[in-house]
Structure 1
Amino acid sequence: MGIKSFQGSRRQQANTSDDTPLKVSDYMTTTLITFTPDQTIESVMQKLIKNRISGGPVVNEKNELIGIISEGDCIKQISESRYYNMPMQDKTIEKHMATNVETIDGNMNIFDAASKFIQAKRRRFPIVENGKLVGQISQKDVLKAAMKLKGQTWK
């Protein structure tokens, strides 16, 4: 009986300590589908459709984050190419990706990340360490974290 209460108090203690898995790095995706600036818009669209994603990070040859390309960026190009009657087969994403990319620190608390998603109205945030892309956190990852923590004290 004494052992059960000891385990119970240890479990409770673990929930309030700093090693509770509440960091972005514990829930981020590290196997990323990335793009390069010299890819054509068409090849990016194919990759987005094939992988059922709405966008992704653009990296250079050193795996440094240089932008983000989204379905919206591609749709804009479809619309403009039709309007100007200019085929987009050869257009690369370099001039069409978002380059002002907001990132999240991997050590950020998952609840602070949730707030950042609400404020920034973004679907995903890349995580960069020492200039290199190491992961990405999406709104869905935050939902998964919340479901894992369900029943625990949210602090």
Structure 2
Amino acid sequence: MRRKPLTINLDASLSEAIEIIFEYKLTGLTVTDASGQVAGILSELDCIKAVLNAIYHDGDPEHSRVRDVMCKEVVTCQPSDDIVQVAESMLASRQRRRPVIENGRLVGQVSSSNV
């Protein structure tokens, strides 16, 4: 588990998210709202799809916001969860990361590279 994972606010620009993903060599980010609660997950694939979609439809990817691109259906886990079950859940849902929540707060993230 990665403690204190990098996050991005749901109102941030997609460009900002892409910069963070590239700078830190990540495969995605946990998205939080203004109060720090988990609001979604943004994967590098979500970013690629959004940029290509904007270009294809003569749009400007600069106007895209994280909230418009992120996956809003977030499956979380707790620090006490069995890592094998977390990994099986990730495989079943084809998601590469799980925010780790304790007492309603984000305390870490399990990603496929941790398993």
Does the 8 Å CA contact 1:37/1:58 hold for their aligned counterparts? yes
TM-superposed CA distance for 1:70, in Å, is 0.9
TM (norm. structure 1) is 0.69
Specify the structure having the higher radius of gyration (Cα): 1
Does the 8 Å CA contact 1:62/1:132 hold for their aligned counterparts? no
Distance 2:87 2:61 in 1: 37
TM (norm. structure 2) is 0.91
Distance 1:117 1:99 in 2: 16
Distance 1:89 1:121 in 2: 28
Supply the AA of the counterpart residue of 1:52: K
Supply the AA of the counterpart residue of 1:76: K
TM-superposed CA distance for 1:51, in Å, is 0.5
Counterpart residue number, 2:48: 75
Counterpart residue number, 1:45: 18
TM-superposed CA distance for 1:97, in Å, is 0.6
* Structure (1 or 2) with the greater helix fraction: 1
1:123 to 2:100 alignment: no
Counterpart residue number, 1:108: 81
* Structure (1 or 2) with the greater strand fraction: 2
Quote the sequence identity (%). Answer: 27
Distance 1:55 1:130 in 2: 24
Aligned pairs for 1:1-155 (under 5 A) are 28-142=1-115
Question: Residues 104 and 82 from structure 1, CA distance in 2 versus in 1: closer, same or farther, beyond 3 angstroms?
Answer: same
Aligned residues: 115
TM-superposed CA distance for 1:115, in Å, is 2.2
Q: SS of the counterpart of 2:110?
A: strand
